[in-house]
Chain A
Amino acid sequence: AQTVTQSQPEMSVQEAETVTLSCTYDTSESDYYLFWYKQPPSRQMILVIRQEAYKQQNATENRFSVNFQKAAKSFSLKISDSQLGDAAMYFCATGERGGSNYKLTFGKGTLLTVNP
């Protein structure tokens, strides 16, 4: 079974600074996807970024980028130029492709606070 571990329950960052959220995972599949979702106080889950495991190039999406280390099964999220609107709970998730187990497995989340 897949497991996802987010070792930082809470993080804080100053506005305009950079912060990195950590995520490690365990999977037996060679083909899978990795995701970071953001859940603000409204509780709406918003996709931040996605990475295909077969791609070596790290995904980027504006101020958000990932550091994907496949051998180490690590998938960290870097937020540059942090903004007040980035304050939210961030969830790392993995999904297996193929086989019969089609579902996302989420970590417990990291609560990010952005200080003005």
Chain B
Amino acid sequence: KAGVTQTPRYLIKTRGQQVTLSCSPISGHRSVSWYQQTPGQGLQFLFEYFSETQRNKGNFPGRFSGRQFSNSRSEMNVSTLELGDSALYLCASSLYMGVETQYFGPGTRLLVL
């Protein structure tokens, strides 16, 4: 089976812009979770989607949002980008909601200038 894929792999944006990141889970997986990884804060949970519904959300401002489509693919959006949003954004998929084993994609590296 193909693994989790994320596009794009790299992005450069400027402050104030918005960005959309995409994640395609492993075939058959229905849950998608998003994480932000920075050198200072480490890995932090953003949100989890299952059956097109957000099931859990981390402690991030409303500028961070996401959605899931009927084919389980997910997108996350960050509006009004700030310098501190520069990070590696990781997507993980699992068969079902919850802490079933999560398999990660290669990540999208976002740089905000």
| 8 Å CB contact of A103 from B33, B88, B106 | B33
Chain B proximity of A58: nearest CB distance (Å): 17
**B contact residues around A96 at 8 Å (CB):** 99
Contact with B along A76-110 (1 / 0, CB 8 A): 00000000000000010001111011111111110
Number of A interface residues in the complex (CB < 8 A): 26
Interface residues of B in 87-107 (CB under 8 A from A): 88, 90, 92, 97-99, 101-107
Closest partner residue, chain A, to B102 (CB atom): A104
Contact A100 B56 (CB under 8 A): yes
Number of B interface residues in the complex (CB < 8 A): 23
A26 to B55, CA, bound (A): 23
Is the CB of A28 closer than 8 A to any CB of chain B?
no
**B contact residues around A102 at 8 Å (CB):** 48, 55-56, 97-99
Contact A103 B56 (CB under 8 A): yes
Contact A45 B90 (CB under 8 A): yes
| 8 Å CB contact of B106 from A37, A42, A106 | A42
Contact with B along A29-63 (1 / 0, CB 8 A): 00011010100001111110010000000000000
Of A50, A98, A103, A107, chain B has the most CB atoms within 10 Å of the CB of: A103
| 8 Å CB contact of B45 from A33, A35, A45, A104 | A104
Question: Which 10 pairs between the two chains have the least Cβ-Cβ distance?
Answer: A95-B99, A45-B104, A106-B43, A103-B45, A102-B98, A102-B56, A44-B106, A108-B42, A33-B99, A43-B107
Can you give 16 contacting A-B residue pairs, CB < 8 Å?
A: A33-B101, A43-B109, A44-B106, A44-B107, A45-B90, A45-B92, A46-B104, A47-B102, A96-B99, A97-B99, A98-B98, A102-B98, A104-B92, A106-B42, A107-B42, A109-B42
